[in-house]
């Protein structure tokens, strides 16, 4: 089954063709992210205008790169939310229109379910359910206990900012560009991560949830109180504190779920090198799966095509949208 998928929930315009939920025949990503580097974040109206411009050329490239025509496509998938409303509308309107004129079934996909499938792209092994998926991006920080591809229960989430948001806001405080994750990582590479103390959020509370807003406030004060300090050290200490908080709550949740042997880590922040090396040792006894390519960590349409395929596998025609 070949699915043509669209993803426009934030500042990317992504179109992909995915076969049987796993084989990526093409994955085109046009981004307006660079234009927001100085702004510290995305301006929705501006992002959506670019998406209107990018979406049809991206569609043409995705079909060409996959070496298929619309005749070969079995269904169309699109991110239906959550995300920026004006951006989502560009993808949803395009996908609905094409599904209608080409007479293809349409599958609406939740963006988070899409991220959960990013580890499936190009995967050779089979997944041993139940698994735990840590989904960490600019919009969410969530832990899911999954019994199958599409049946999942949220067992923890952030109480305030998402971890990607903590990277983005932290970068702004440090005078670094958006998106803050890669910017902080590169800047902090030569810093000493033990130079500054940051609090351990929610310590002593009986929860697997996260809270990142206090760390961001602590960063603000650390910068204010150490004017002449080496900013790389502050950035490294902040990055380490964000990663440690992710790790602490993840390990606590896993300790309560001994039935789980496999952990998937997805979303933009899963690209973070410091996080990966921190988790390597502590997750030694688990099968750990990251998206196979870095471009599958951040927003892309291939993950939406994969999730759509498994929705159809597990839910049949109920996965199809009425339009
Ligand atoms: O998944 P994604 O592309 O979009 C959302 O659904 O939000 O994630 C974007 C987020 C941004 O907050 C960005 O700063 C963060 O992922 N990010 C990173 C890295 N690369 C992207 N955070 C930490 N380290 C990275 N290497
Ligand atoms: Zn995302």
Q: Measure 11 CA to ligand 2 centroid, in angstroms.
A: 10
Please identify, by atom number, the ligand 1 atom nearest to the C-alpha of residue 239: 23
Environment class of 277 (CB within 10 Å of its CB; exposed 0-12, middle 13-18, buried 19+): exposed
For position 19, what pLDDT does the model report?
A: 98
Q: Measure 267 CA to ligand 2 centroid, in angstroms.
A: 6
Q: Which of 138, 216, 299 to mutate to test the pocket of ligand 1 (most atoms within 8 A of CB)?
A: 138
Closest by CA to 308, choosing from 85, 65, 137, 99, is: 99
Closest by CA to 28, choosing from 323, 292, 309, 305, is: 305
Environment class of 258 (CB within 10 Å of its CB; exposed 0-12, middle 13-18, buried 19+): exposed
Please identify, by atom number, the ligand 1 atom nearest to the C-alpha of residue 267: 1
For position 323, what pLDDT does the model report?
A: 63
**Where do we find the tokens 């067992």?**
155
Q: Measure 171 CA to ligand 2 centroid, in angstroms.
A: 19
Q: Which of 164, 244, 300 to mutate to test the pocket of ligand 1 (most atoms within 8 A of CB)?
A: 164
Strand partners, 106: 76
Please identify, by atom number, the ligand 1 atom nearest to the C-alpha of residue 115: 1
Closest Cα to atom 18 of ligand 1: 181
pTM of the model: 0.94
Q: Measure 149 CA to ligand 1 centroid, in angstroms.
A: 23
Q: Which of 115, 268, 295 to mutate to test the pocket of ligand 1 (most atoms within 8 A of CB)?
A: 268
The 3-class secondary structure across the chain, one letter per residue, is CEEEEEECCCCEEEEEEEECCCEEEEEEEEECHHHHCCCCCCCHHHHHHHHHHHHHHHHHHHHHHHCCCHHHCCEEEEEEECCCHHHHHHHHHHHHHHHHHHCCCEEEEEHHHHHHCHHHCCCCCCCCCCEEEEEECCCCEEEEEECCCCCEEEEEEECCCCHHHHHHHHHHHCCCCCCHHHHHHHHHCCCCCCCCCCCCCCCCCCCCCECCHHHHHHHHHHHHHCCCCCHHHHHHHHHHHHHHHHHHHHHHHHHCCCCCCEEEEECHHHHCHHHHHHHHHHCCCCEEECCCCHHHCCCCCHHHHHHHHHHHHHHHHHHECCC
pLDDT per 10-residue tile (average), the chain, 323 residues: 96 96 97 72 83 95 98 98 94 97 97 97 94 95 97 97 97 95 97 97 95 98 94 98 98 97 97 96 96 96 98 94 74
Lining residues, ligand 1, CB within 6 Å = 10, 137-139, 164, 167-168, 179-182, 185, 267-269, 271-272, 298-299
């Amino acid at each position: 089954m070949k699915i043509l998928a669209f993803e426009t929930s934030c500042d990317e315009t992504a179109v992909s063709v995915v076969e049987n939920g796993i084989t990526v025949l093409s994955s085109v990503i046009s981004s307006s992210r660079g234009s927001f580097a100085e702004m510290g974040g995305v301006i929705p109206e501006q992002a959506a205008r670019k998406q209107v411009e990018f979406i049809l050329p991206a569609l043409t490239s995705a079909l060409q790169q996959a070496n298929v025509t619309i005749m070969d496509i079995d269904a169309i998938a699109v991110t239906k939310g959550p995300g920026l409303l004006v951006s989502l509308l560009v993808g949803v309107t395009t996908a609905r229109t094409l599904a209608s004129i080409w007479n293809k079934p349409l599958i609406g996909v939740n963006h988070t379910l899409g991220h959960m499938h990013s580890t499936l792209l190009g995967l050779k092994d089979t997944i041993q359910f139940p698994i735990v998926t840590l989904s960490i991006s600019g919009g969410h920080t969530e832990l899911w206990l999954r019994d199958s591809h599409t049946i999942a229960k949220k067992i923890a989430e952030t109480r305030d900012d998402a971890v990607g948001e903590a990277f983005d806001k932290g970068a702004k405080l440090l005078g670094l560009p958006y998106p803050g994750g890669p910017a902080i990582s590169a800047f902090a590479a030569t810093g000493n991560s033990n130079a500054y103390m940051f609090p351990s959020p929610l310590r002593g509370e009986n929860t697997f949830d996260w809270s990142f807003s206090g760390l961001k406030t602590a960063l603000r004060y650390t910068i204010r109180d150490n004017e002449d300090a080496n900013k790389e050290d502050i950035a490294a200490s902040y990055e380490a504190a964000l990663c440690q908080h992710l790790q602490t709550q993840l390990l606590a949740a896993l300790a309560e779920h001994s039935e789980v042997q496999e952990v998937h880590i997805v979303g933009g922040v899963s690209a973070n090198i410091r996080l990966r090396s921190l988790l390597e040792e502590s997750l030694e006894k688990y099968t750990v799966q990251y998206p196979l390519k870095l471009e599958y960590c951040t927003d892309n349409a291939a993950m939406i095509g994969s999730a759509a395929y498994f929705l159809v596998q597990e839910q049949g025609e109920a996965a199809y949208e009425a339009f």
